[in-house]
C-alpha cells in the first residue's frame, strides 16, 4: 500500500463539509437512513472513478513515458496545492465562516429537511474526486501494482476517506444517544482549527508532490 495514499486518505477524512452534513443528518428523525444514503451516494461516485483510473492507467504503469507523465502530474498537483494554500492563507479562498449545506446551490433548501434521495445526492456532490484524490491515485500507480492490488489500494483509500461518516453511522446504530455529541465535537474541532489544518496540509502535500515530481523528472532525463 502506498504510504502517500494512506496519508492523503487520512487528510480527506477530515473535510469540513461532509462532517457538517453528517452532523446535520444526525439531528433528524432518521439519522441512520440519511447517513447510509450519504455514504452510498459518495461511494457511488468515488469508487468507480478511482478503480477505473488505476485499471486504465495501470496498464501502462511500467513504461518510461507513463512514469514521466505521473511526475508531471505530481508537479502540477503540487503547484495547485501550494497556490490554494497561499490563496487560503491570504483570504482569497475559503472565506466562508463554515462549510455547510449552503454551498450546494439547488440542494440548499432541500438539505434543510433532508430525505434519503437528497442525502444521497449530497454524497455525490461532496465527494467528487479532488486534489487529494488525484494525488492518491498517482501515488497508487507509482507502486506499479497489478490490477487486484491497485483496486485494493483504492478501496483502502476510500475506506479512510469515508471513515468519519462511517464511524458516525456505527455510533448511530450502536450508541444513538451519543452520536450527535461525538460527531459535533469532531466537527467543532475541525471548524476551530480549519485554517491552520488546511494551510499546513496543503503546504506539506504541495511541497512533497513538487519535490517528488521534479526528482522523478530529473531521473528520467
- Number of domains observed in the structure of the chain: 1
The pLDDT tens digits of the residues spanning 94-125 come to 554 444 444 444 555 566 678 999 999 999 99
The pLDDT tens digits of the residues spanning 28-76 come to 888 899 999 999 999 999 999 999 999 888 765 555 555 677 678 778 8
- What sign has the CA pseudo-torsion 215, 78, 85, 50? negative
The pLDDT tens digits of the residues spanning 154-187 come to 999 999 999 988 988 888 888 777 766 776 676 6
**Stated pTM of the model:** 0.73
The domain containing residue 144 runs over which residues?
A: 3-220
Contacts of 122 (CB under 8 A, 6+ apart): 21, 38, 41, 101, 104, 107, 111, 114
Residue 190: pLDDT over 50: yes
Contacts of 33 (CB under 8 A, 6+ apart): 116, 119
Amino acid at each position: 500500500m502506498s504510504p502517500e495514499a494512506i496519508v492523503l486518505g487520512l487528510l480527506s477524512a477530515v473535510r469540513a463539509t461532509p462532517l457538517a452534513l453528517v452532523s446535520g443528518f444526525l439531528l433528524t428523525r432518521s439519522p441512520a437512513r440519511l447517513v447510509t444514503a450519504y455514504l452510498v451516494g459518495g461511494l457511488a461516485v468515488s469508487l468507480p472513478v478511482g478503480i477505473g483510473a488505476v485499471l486504465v492507467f495501470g496498464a501502462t504503469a511500467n513504461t518510461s513515458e507513463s512514469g514521466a507523465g505521473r511526475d508531471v502530474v505530481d508537479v502540477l498537483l503540487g503547484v495547485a496545492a501550494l497556490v490554494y494554500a497561499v490563496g487560503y492563507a491570504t483570504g482569497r479562498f475559503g472565506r466562508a465562516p463554515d462549510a455547510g449545506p449552503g454551498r450546494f446551490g439547488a440542494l440548499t433548501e432541500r438539505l434543510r429537511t433532508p430525505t434519503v434521495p437528497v442525502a444521497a445526492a449530497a454524497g455525490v456532490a461532496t465527494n467528487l474526486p479532488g486534489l487529494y484524490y488525484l494525488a492518491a491515485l498517482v501515488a497508487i500507480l507509482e507502486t506499479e501494482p497489478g490490477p487486484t492490488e491497485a483496486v485494493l489500494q483504492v478501496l483502502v483509500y476510500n475506506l479512510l476517506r469515508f471513515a468519519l461518516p462511517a464511524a458516525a453511522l456505527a455510533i448511530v446504530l450502536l450508541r444513538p444517544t451519543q452520536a450527535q455529541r461525538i460527531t459535533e465535537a469532531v466537527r467543532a474541532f475541525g471548524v476551530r482549527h480549519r485554517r491552520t489544518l488546511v494551510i499546513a496540509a496543503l503546504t506539506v502535500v504541495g511541497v512533497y508532490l513538487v519535490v517528488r515530481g521534479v526528482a522523478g523528472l530529473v531521473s528520467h532525463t
